[in-house]
Structure 1
């Protein structure tokens, strides 16, 4: 069997970078990759010095998708189901992490590769890169969140076409549709821009990205009125936080705010009204 794609982790100040390390095979995502990714996210959640994370792929692709070589060797659908569970669990860790994740889509992001990018909070894409969930061409559907996250980020009609036909978007088109937050002219510029976004996030108040993620997640299925109730509670809690008080003082005093250089361990705050109780 071909070598599994690993995940490397490096820290540079308050920004960490996760890299899919399988460049020769365009960074396919297999079971070992999912385990490594989940372990890295848990490690970063526990590191109070980390404030933002960039996710990218080694070489000329972000990720060509799920590891077909591994899947081809599965003995039955039960093995495939276990793989999909591991994959979706790893992506849920990214989605639920208090840290902001920026996908640096430096090349093709196909199938599971695009699903990984969709699980991140922000996306920087190479304009000529290809993005797709091509599973329909194999007679199946995306299984790692593609049918759920894609229609929430792209226009529903476009998402439906991508899922039903396996059609491809360029990075430039993805940016036009709002699926990407930044557009880069080269793979190298993707990393530069993603790093700049991460640095900006890391330099702000640590609770803002965490509360944004939890608030958007917990109110996704609520009415606007019920969502505003949660929003008021979150805004009030942030106003009473040390960073909130510093931000207001700095604005009144016409100076740059000096937010805390580190976030709380695991990035959570027991006073957060939008953060549900979680079991170990």
Structure 2
């Protein structure tokens, strides 16, 4: 599959998002095979947990990307953990997190996701997020779609259009990390009219804002680019925006910083 650089067209972004969704669907079968077994976990060099699901899913994803998008650099979490990352700078590259929310996976909470996204010129332009245990598939390119009741390995067809909601007059619903809620996040929420607050693991937070289940997702805790790019693409395509706390654009390709993210705010509509 080819696409226009530096900026793919809306139609190309839609095709790429569908491709990523199909690859994530197929990888989801490997994830669920492990999830439904008596699996073991290990600790990586950065002290984060990993299971066979991460590695098996990443194998599927990397093989498919090499087949369908040859020549496009891929930065995948588990391979990066083994081999390290340098100060690479690419005009276009793909970010892969085979299992985001590994803690939720290990605890069998279901709130974990398979994530694939394309970055062009520092911006996420197409992505797919699949929550196989919840049977929810989200994709975002030129437009955003959701598939509910979507089984691992299922063929991606036409989903339901996804659009963020207008901010309710009674106040915003905030969604936060299930495992990272620091004082800066609390201060951000305290300074705004918040009518409700919920928490969930993984990149589903972006998807819930995209689906109108929440209005804002603030994050000061540590994340990597592969944690956020796919969900960010879904939210962008649904009408949302992700910025740094000062309102500056939230960008990708930060090779000099080890592809680590700074703090960000994900909004359903314009920041308030």
Fold equivalence (TM over 0.5) = no
Larger-Rg structure: 1
| Pairwise TM-score range, normalised by the shorter structure | under 0.3
TM-score after normalising by structure 2: 0.28
TM-score after normalising by structure 1: 0.27
The structure whose residues are more often helix, as a share, is 1
